[in-house]
Amino acid sequence: MSLLDRLKAQIAQDGPIGVPEFFTRCLHDPRDGYYATRPDLGAGGDFITAPLVSQMFGELIGLWVLETWTRLGRPAPFRLVEMGPGDGTLMSDLLRAGRLDPAFLAAAEVWLVEVSAPLKAKQAAKLSDAPRWVGRLDEVPGGAPMILVANELLDCLPARQFVRTKDGWAERVIGLGEDGQLAFGLRGLGKSPDAAPLHLPEAGKGSIWESSPAQAALASDIAHRLVADGGAALLIDYGRAEPEAGDTLQAIQNHVKVDPLKTAGLADLTVWADFPAVVAAARETGAKAGPILSQAEFLLALGIEARAQALAKARPDRADQLGRQLDRLIGKAQMGALFKVACLCAPDLSPPLFEDAT
Ligand code: SAH
């Protein structure tokens, strides 16, 4: 029985489910979830990410990590953690840049936080020095400073969706339509047991507001660790830099947007990262956080143009391709503006480009 059919049977028996439950089943159902069974990243797969666009992305993040480690006082060992490492490309490029300083590589204890068995196999094939794998951040031992990076992980953590109706706010749920297919519906917040902590803004009828307890909880977990042990975390994702309304639930298969309710488990499913909520959760936990930079600002400040020129000089035959990669990563109409970068850090640290964190 497909995941879609199992969800329909469950909803027929127990009633509608919230967007987060649907989202988590689509990505992680042990039998049919997208990441559990068929994640396919890259140009020939379902979606492409910045490290797969160009080696420059991971290399520049490597330089950022190296400088952050230096500002931490070059601790040995330190935990170099990546959450949601995909096929391992970002970590591989980051470690190559880290070769600039052999002491950095010797001090780095690499931990990968990953839940997908097929992707763990790809990471193992890509990374020659065996990293350590865990399924959750709290399984990475404390007691040493941590530098954490995560690209396109927040967008894998679900959001609840709320819709403004004439009677006030209601939660968007997934039930069955008259045709027996999955359909969006609404549940009055009165019946939702955990509606109380929400601070929903004034908004016009029909507007959709998202709130991701899972993203905020991850930011809080990371911040706890940074406050206890020192260090910094770099979170990169597409998302909002200001609180704003909008339905950002999106399913992608073979680089094309598809209907999330028809493709359970077959497509990648994401919501926007809610950077204002992530930054607020980290600050509440006692860490410093922000400012929220665009990916273009971040990569330009790290010198991506000079890096592209150097690579093109070494390989003139690849100059055109490098120019296209550069544009893809920093172009305003491409990943440069929609993608954001936020840093969370221990109160006593000033990471590069985030010296103004508060
Ligand atoms: N960072 C990579 C891959 C992004 S895809 C890149 O930029 O190319 C999302 C990654 O997050 C995958 O590795 C996926 O398996 C992982 N992931 C999804 N949900 C997760 C969770 N709850 N905990 C840890 N990793 C998760």
pLDDT of res. 197: 45
- Among 156, 215, 271, 295, the mutation site with the greatest number of ligand 1 atoms within 8 A of its Cβ is 156
Nearest to 1 by CA among 27, 32, 38: 32
Whether pLDDT at 196 is above 60: no
Mean pLDDT of the chain: 95
In sequence order, which residues have a C-beta less than 8 Å from that of residue 21 and are 6 or more positions away? none
Q: Rounded mean pLDDT of 256-276?
A: 97
Domains in the chain, please, with CATH? 47-156+212-245+266-345 (3.40.50.150)
pTM (predicted TM-score): 0.96
Instruction: Report the separation in Å between the CA atom of 56 and the middle of ligand 1, taken as the mean of its atom positions.
Output: 20
Ligand 1 pocket member 83 (CB < 6 A): yes
Q: Read off the pLDDT of each residue in 138-156 and give the average, rounded to a whole number.
A: 98
Rounded to an integer, the average pLDDT of 55-71 is 98
Give residue 178 CA to ligand 1 midpoint distance, Å. 36
Say how far apart CA 260 and CA 29 lie, in whole Å.
Answer: 15
Q: Kindly state the average pLDDT of the residues 154-174.
A: 91
Regarding the beta carbon of 92 and ligand 1, being less than 6 Å apart is answered no
| Contact yes or no for 218/169 (Cβ under 8 A) | no
Rounded CA-CA distance 291/357 in Å is 6
Would you say the CB of residue 279 lies under 6 angstroms from ligand 1? no
Question: What integer pLDDT is reported at residue 166 of this predicted model?
Answer: 82
In contact, 99 and 105? CB cutoff 8 Å: yes
pLDDT on residue 290: 86
Of the two residues 83 and 202, the one the predictor is more confident about is: 83
Q: What percent of the chain has pLDDT over 90?
A: 90
Does residue 265 line the site of ligand 1, with CB under 6 A?
Answer: no
Q: Indicate whether residue 85 lines ligand 1 (CB < 6 A).
A: yes
Residues 139-150 as b or e (16 or more Cβ within 10 Å = b): ebeeebbbbbbb
Tokens read off for 23? 């989202």
pLDDT of amino acid 129: 82
Band (194; pLDDT cuts 50, 70, 90): low
In the predicted model, what is the mean pLDDT of residues 192-201?
57
Q: What is the 3-state secondary structure (H, E, C) of the chain?
A: CCHHHHHHHHHHHHCCEEHHHHHHHHHHCCCCCHHHHCCCECCCCCECCHHHHCHHHHHHHHHHHHHHHHHCCCCCCEEEEEECCCCCHHHHHHHHHHCCCHHHHHHEEEEEECCCHHHHHHHHHHCCCCCEEECCHHHCCCCCCEEEEEECCHHHCCCEEEEEECCEEEEEEEEECCCCCEEEEEEEHHHCCCCCCCCCCCCCCCCEEEECHHHHHHHHHHHHHHHHHCEEEEEEEEEECCCCCCCCCEEEECCEEECCCCCCCCCEEECCEEHHHHHHHHHHCCCEECCCEEHHHHHHHCCHHHHHHHHHHHCHHHHHHHHHHHHHHHCCCCHHHHEEEEEEECCCCCCCCCCCCC
Q: From the CA of 84, how far away is ligand 1's center (Å)?
A: 3
Return the residue whose CA atom lies nearest to atom 11 of ligand 1. Answer: 84
Taking the centre of ligand 1 as the mean of its atom positions, its distance from the CA of residue 3, in whole angstroms, is: 21
CA of 345 to the centre of ligand 1 (A): 22
Mean pLDDT, residues 229-250 taken together = 96
Lowest mean pLDDT among 33-37, 134-138, 204-208: 204-208
Mean pLDDT of 123-147: 95
pLDDT at 201 over 80: no
Residue 135 tokens, joined: 């399924």
pLDDT in tens, 26-46: 999 999 999 999 999 999 999
User: Does residue 195 surpass a pLDDT of 80?
Assistant: no
| Average pLDDT score over residue span 237-262 | 96
Nearest CA to ligand 1 atom 3: 86
**Structure confidence by residue, pLDDT tens digits, 176-190:** 999 999 999 999 887
Separation of alpha carbons 99 and 101, rounded Å: 5
Q: What is the Cα–Cα distance from 41 to 306, expressed in whole angstroms?
A: 28
The answer, yes or no, to whether any atom of ligand 1 lies below 6 A from the CB of 325, is no
Cβ 116 under 6 angstroms from ligand 1 = yes
pLDDT digits (tens, 9 = 90+) for 314-355: 999 999 999 999 999 999 999 999 999 999 999 999 999 999
Q: Which two tokens stand for residue 76?
A: 């040995």
More confident residue, 198 or 313: 313
Inform me whether the pLDDT recorded for 312 exceeds 90. yes
Q: How far is the CA of 152 from the centre of ligand 1 (A)?
A: 7
